[in-house]
Structure 1
Amino acid sequence: MRLAPVRDLLQRQVDEGLLPGFVAAVRHRGTTEVLCGGTTTAGDVQPMGPDTLFRMSSVTKPVAGALTLALREDGVLGLDDPVGEWLPELAAPRVLRDRTGPLADTVPAERPITVRHLLTSTPGFGGVWDGSPLARAIDERGIGPGPWPPALTPDEYLRRLAEVPLAAQPGEVWLYHLPADVLGVLLARATGRPVAALLAERVTGPLGLTDTAFTAVDPARLATVHATTPDGLVPVDAPDATVPPAFEGLAAGLVSTAPDVLTVLAALADGGAPLLSPASVAALTADALTPAQRAGAADFLEPGVSWGLQTGVCVEQTEPWCTPGRFGWDGGTGTSAWADPAREMVAVLLTGRLMGGPDDGPQEFWRTLYACL
């Protein structure tokens, strides 16, 4: 691989004060290269390295999908099982008659919420940013989307979520983030084991990964999360990643390294072993949305991108890197990880800088990388 243009791009962003540093891991046609630059904290001297730990934020979500399908293969649950079996708080939800209307104006759910609905982010609840009473109720309860897990126990999280009605009937619309956190609570209850133990048994253990967990396995290697301000990059007040969290979140809770994330996606891109069967990988990475659901998510999903089972999936060639069949996702802490089986390429970019919006993502990284192929 000739990745000098990628290194130059990322180093220039560091030199211009746009990033504190970066680690990019790329595997193309069986050859892997890791690029590093900058420092773990802006203005510090500790360099970024292949073993630098990052808060993954939403790059956690594809792992949530893979872990759920692994447990389905184990016979723990079925994708069309009603979640009420394990989550009685969501067994009989009410649904807003008008998504932007009063919280008391509801109707019964027409069908139960299923495991599949959680995986496809269509259970009727999720991130709402329209200023409605529902959006305010979610924010007031501290259960809305964010770059790390909620500061609640799983039981308290479910209790608060059950206090608010659904935005839509189960299975009708795509809404972001919250379904993955609820999925984690379901898996823990269905197995009677912490999510961390399930992750170790079904994902990190089989792959021999030692740096991926819900805490920083070595705090000295943990990169600082920064925000962009008029005064430059400033560290943000992130949760303490050196102690076990109250909530082991499958929406945004993992801490990992670029090589570890690359290993997970590469296993899936290569057919699934030792994590999943090829049939489960196909289910994970297939477009799970109807045209109407995808159209309703157009403000969030980029052009050409749809949604599988807690992972983004490319369905149209709208950009050079948006190859149909490509799958992965981006995270609000400046993380991005995608596999492109058709191009025999898997790549991960970790930066430690909060994204400022939809136009503040890793597009230039992907554009430059694909120009090198």
Structure 2
Amino acid sequence: MRLWRLLALGMALLGLALAQVREGVDLGVLQAFKARLEAEVAQGRLPGAVVLVARNGQVVFHEAVGYLDPKARTPMAKEAIFRIYSMTKPLTSVLALQLVEEGRLFLTDPLALYLPEFREIRVGVERAGPEGRPVLELAPSQRPITLYDLLRHTSGITYGIFFDSLVKQEYRKVNADALDQTREEFLAKLARLPLQFQPGTLWEYGNSTDLLGHLLERVTGKSLAELMEERIFRPLGMVDSGFQVPPEKWGRVAEPPERDPFTGTPTPLPLNVREAPKRYSGGAGAVATAQDYHRFLQALLNGGELGGRRILSRKGVELLTQDHLGPLYLPSLQRGAPYLPGFGYGFGLGVAVRLEDGGSPLPGSKGDYYWAGLFGTYFFVDPKERLIGVFMMQNPGGRTYYAGLFRNAVYASLR
């Protein structure tokens, strides 16, 4: 009788151990990570977050911590809707590649073929002025900007935010980055501004994807919101994604804290997603839940389809997620902090792409890809491990810290 009890106990312990591992992911490690996040919430460093991990096509971990609205102390929910900011960019890239596959665009097409206001572009060059102060001079562009440049951020178009230069100061003077302006106002400003560098010579993060989105609108005669709904959100069952949150879902919108706990400064005013935007920003305007964005990433990991609905060909996904900088990677990297993909990563057509198994301080595999959003959303996909990680929060100052914390925990959980 005692033997049977020991066997039963052994089987129970074995079952518990097996339950802790799903699809080769140790859930105990991820539960410890969740506890770490809860401690960060208790310390006032993290307002709230939703975490999702999937492997081999199965969601193995999907949890919420903290507050949906820190001011109202509303508990975070797994179904929370987040402003994803620059995680909009891969969505716009997929739309562009769809039109390429349909023969409506070529990546080698000049931008001015579709947006003729960009025919006369100039490049800003900093020269030594009086008393050694730099001054901005304008030089002619040596070649046109192409759609390929827009997708891989080698157009010379920049942002007014992120670091500084005389060209960026010109952007800030006219508030070029603003989402609260019409498409026509945005295009008119951008067409008059100088480029940060000659097209095709460096990687520079900027308004390229916004410009690409408006180009797609002009080519198709539809808004970016309509295109994404018809071509990505509806086919993939991304039921809570879009460029505006309807009134019945307002109570699910995650909000940032009034003051950023990492910087101690007031949090920038978040995108108003409860009203229709003046323009649809292909670089920063979308919202999604963690589950919705996972469906998009799973489609990419599956080679372009999910549940029998295809959004891109297998080769189209390969094109999106392979490095397109080549030798430009090194001069871009030598610029230091402005090269956001970081050590060991090149850039595809909207995502950072790992070049080798080594050479990066981040855990991962050759060919993994990632990107993030201004207010703290983050994802990575590792095709070798059949692994997806999605981290959603609205805490701009902590975005690098929590993305690193999340990635380290997920890779530590692999068995």
Instruction: Give the TM-score of the pair, scaled to structure 1.
Output: 0.92
Aligned residues of 1:55 and 1:255 also touching (Cα < 8 A): yes
How far apart in 2 are the matches of 1:248 and 1:73?
Answer: 23
Partner of 2:311: 275
Q: Deviations over 1:306-338 (max 9, x none)?
A: 210011111233245332111120111110011
Task: Read off the aligned partner of 1:15 and give its amino acid letter.
Answer: A
Aligned residues of 1:106 and 1:165 also touching (Cα < 8 A): yes
The secondary structure found in structure 1 opposite 2:294 is helix
What is the number of equivalent residue pairs in this alignment? Answer: 367
Say if 2:179 is the partner of 1:138: no
- CA gap of 1:257–1:167, structure 2 versus 1, over 3 A, is same
Task: Read off the aligned partner of 1:360 and give its amino acid letter.
Answer: Y
Which residue of 141, 149, 152 corresponds with 1:109? 141
How far apart in 2 are the matches of 1:171 and 1:252?
Answer: 23
Partner of 1:154: 183
Q: Deviations over 1:278-311 (max 9, x none)?
A: 1100000000113334432442222112210011
Q: Which runs of 4+ in 1 moved over 6 A?
A: 230-234
How far apart in 1 are the matches of 2:101 and 2:230?
Answer: 14
Shift of 1:257: 0.3
Shift of 1:97: 3.8
Aligned residues of 1:213 and 1:256 also touching (Cα < 8 A): yes
How far apart in 2 are the matches of 1:11 and 1:309?
Answer: 36
Which residue of 121, 125, 129 corresponds with 2:153? 121
Which residue of 194, 199, 202 corresponds with 2:223? 194
The secondary structure found in structure 2 opposite 1:5 is helix
User: Percent sequence identity over matched residues?
Assistant: 31
How far apart in 2 are the matches of 1:304 and 1:210?
Answer: 35
Say if 2:249 is the partner of 1:207: no
Say if 2:112 is the partner of 1:84: yes
Aligned residues of 1:304 and 1:322 also touching (Cα < 8 A): no
Shift of 1:35: 0.9
Shift of 1:131: 4.2
Shift of 1:197: 0.6
- CA gap of 1:166–1:237, structure 2 versus 1, over 3 A, is closer
Say if 2:353 is the partner of 1:313: yes
Q: Deviations over 1:26-46 (max 9, x none)?
A: 101232121111111125342
Shift of 1:234: 6.2
Query: Unpaired runs of 5+ in structure 2?
Result: 1-21, 129-133
Which residue of 320, 331, 354 corresponds with 1:295? 331
Bigger mean CA deviation after superposition, 179-188 or 312-321 = 312-321
Which residue of 83, 86, 101 corresponds with 1:55? 83
How far apart in 1 are the matches of 2:251 and 2:215?
Answer: 33
Say if 2:51 is the partner of 1:24: yes
Instruction: Give the TM-score of the pair, scaled to structure 2.
Output: 0.83
What pairs with 1:214-253 in structure 2 (closer than 5 Å)? 214-217=243-246, 218-226=249-257, 227-229=259-261, 236-253=268-285
How far apart in 2 are the matches of 1:231 and 1:71?
Answer: 42
Task: Read off the aligned partner of 2:42 and give its amino acid letter.
Answer: D
Say if 2:379 is the partner of 1:337: yes
How far apart in 1 are the matches of 2:398 and 2:171?
Answer: 21
Say if 2:205 is the partner of 1:172: no
How far apart in 1 are the matches of 2:365 and 2:355?
Answer: 7
* Superposition RMSD in Å: 2.1
Aligned residues of 1:84 and 1:90 also touching (Cα < 8 A): yes
The secondary structure found in structure 2 opposite 1:313 is strand
How far apart in 2 are the matches of 1:24 and 1:67?
Answer: 26
Task: Read off the aligned partner of 1:366 and give its amino acid letter.
Answer: R
Query: Unpaired runs of 5+ in structure 1?
Result: none
The secondary structure found in structure 1 opposite 2:401 is coil
Q: Deviations over 1:7-33 (max 9, x none)?
A: 122222212211111101110123212
How far apart in 2 are the matches of 1:39 and 1:70?
Answer: 38
Larger Rg: 2
Task: Read off the aligned partner of 2:145 and give its amino acid letter.
Answer: I
How far apart in 2 are the matches of 1:79 and 1:39?
Answer: 43
Aligned residues of 1:54 and 1:256 also touching (Cα < 8 A): yes
Partner of 1:13: 40
Aligned residues of 1:154 and 1:246 also touching (Cα < 8 A): yes
- CA gap of 1:98–1:38, structure 2 versus 1, over 3 A, is same
Aligned residues of 2:261 and 2:397 also touching (Cα < 8 A): no
- CA gap of 1:323–1:303, structure 2 versus 1, over 3 A, is same
Bigger mean CA deviation after superposition, 234-243 or 281-290 = 234-243
How far apart in 1 are the matches of 2:85 and 2:127?
Answer: 27
Shift of 1:235: 5.8
Task: Read off the aligned partner of 2:116 and give its amino acid letter.
Answer: P
